[in-house]
Chain A
């Protein structure tokens, strides 16, 4: 006997407050974590490319540590272990969102640093040579020439990371963050109907990812350096995405 699909429940779930708020929370957490991860990752990437071995080792250790440990473990650490080190972390100021944001940022930064490092390395070394010949400082060259070109290269893999991170946010439910999957699960257990409730959650994820893809395409076009006519053709070398744990 084929179970029927309760379309009314589906629409109800789709338009419900908990779903909407859950999706917003997931999106906020993703954006905040990726933003922070890019900053930290950039610093770690520069460290990895440093001429001083001491600085390079720090970057190496960072990547090693945060890529080797599962994201879930890191979430647990920030939520359960920290208060044992300092009871202040048990206070209400340290919300599940904040703990998840910190854990996900630090975790994602390790992956981003490798993507950014590849991007920086892919920029033709001749660019830096020309800059130095003109008398520019290394920092100026980085800012005005190398980073803009590296950005163009890292946009696609970073888009991938956004999507991965979006899905990772559902892990935060184990430290009591109320996000989209939590809402879906709650409705499912209350109604004993999984098809309709989970499909509605799926729709939200699809919509978010679709919006991201549009943004990514726009961003890529902004970083295509051709005037007018040949817009849309991006001739940047491809960097494969780094698989996640």
Chain B
């Protein structure tokens, strides 16, 4: 608790300095890369506007250092490369913190959640564990850790795997009846179940949890990285993230 108060004080002081400093500090617009195909974390509405938990969080985060957040639409596999190419200063996109990624760019965790196998309502193929997928049709979003995991599993037990550009596309395959299961996050299930009541169910929940993180460039550790760290701490202290979680029907315990 104390650490957070100190952090908030630091941020306030820093903000005071920021106005006059300019060069190394972030002002104006906070650009972050995101792939809006992973509701409720980020999604594009019919009018093309991007909304979601991550979007709201990014906005609140930027406010802690007096900037406004602006999403940069990027395909999921290209998120970290876009960060390194300076198309944005951070990646906020329901993306896990994993060692191979943090090797390239550091990340700050803000939420935990579980992976799930989504199946058709009533679980007609009786999928109770990953091994139940043997011989079935599975859909997944391409370029994700989900896909990586499923490829390894496929090599072991054997099933048909189809990869799609967006998470929603993959879930659609279960709704269409083409795929028997989709590997994704429980956050995604919460949203999709709301969109298609009674059509889908969770077949299996993975025990371990993953942390969603905000990635930033190694070189910016002292600037953007510090701002984000402080910002998240401040939002946590104020309980902002929990309020957002409630808004998007994400289990409150999962967020910081």
User: B-contacting residues of A (Cβ < 8 Å)?
Assistant: 80, 83-84, 87, 90-92, 96, 173-176, 178, 182, 185-186, 188-189, 192, 194
Contacts and interface: CB of A to CB of B under 8 A. Distances in A.
B81 A83 contact: no
B104 interface: yes
B77 A80 contact: no
B176 A90 contact: yes
A176 B172 contact: no
A84 B104 contact: no
B143 A192 contact: no
A182 B169 CA distance: 16
Main secondary structure of the interface of A (DSSP, over half): helix
Contacts of B80: 192
Interface of B: 77-78, 80-81, 84, 104, 137, 139, 142-143, 160, 162-165, 169, 172, 176-178
Contact of B143 (A83, A84, A174, A185): A185
Given A186-B143, A192-B104, A194-B81, A96 B162 contact: yes
B143 A92 contact: no
B177 A92 contact: no
Contacts of B176: 80, 83-84, 87, 90
Contacts of B163: 176, 178, 182
Given A185-B142, A188-B77, 6 more contacts: A87-B176, A92-B137, A176-B162, A178-B163, A186-B143, A189-B78
Contact of B164 (A83, A174, A185): A174
Nearest to B75: A185
Contacts of B169: 174
Among A80, A87, A173, A192: residue with most chain B CB under 10 A: A192
22 contacts: A80-B176, A90-B177, A90-B178, A91-B178, A92-B137, A92-B160, A92-B178, A96-B162, A173-B142, A173-B165, A174-B165, A176-B163, A176-B164, A182-B142, A185-B77, A186-B77, A186-B143, A188-B77, A188-B81, A189-B77, A192-B80, A192-B81
Contacts of B81: 188-189, 192, 194
A84 B169 CA distance: 14
A83 to B, nearest CB: 5
Nearest to B143: A189
A238 B80 CA distance: 49
Among B77, B80, B160, B176: residue with most chain A CB under 10 A: B176
Contacts of B164: 174-176
Closest 8 CB pairs of A and B: A176-B162, A189-B77, A90-B178, A90-B177, A83-B176, A189-B143, A90-B176, A174-B165
Contacts of A91: 178
Nearest to B160: A92
A92 B176 CA distance: 12
Nearest to B137: A92
A151 to B, nearest CB: 39
A92 B161 CA distance: 11
A5 to B, nearest CB: 16
A92 B180 CA distance: 11
B165 A80 contact: no
A83 B177 contact: yes
Nearest to A193: B81
Among B81, B137, B139, B142: residue with most chain A CB under 10 A: B142
A182 B137 CA distance: 19
Contacts of A92: 137, 160, 178
Contacts of B160: 92
Nearest to B151: A186
Contacts of B104: 192
A188 B79 CA distance: 12
B11 to A, nearest CB: 32
Nearest to B103: A192
A62 B163 CA distance: 32
Contacts of B178: 83, 90-92
Contacts of A185: 77, 142-143
A82 to B, nearest CB: 9
Contacts of B162: 96, 176
A91 to B, nearest CB: 8
Contacts of B177: 83, 87, 90
Contacts of B77: 185-186, 188-189
Contacts of A194: 81
Nearest to B147: A186
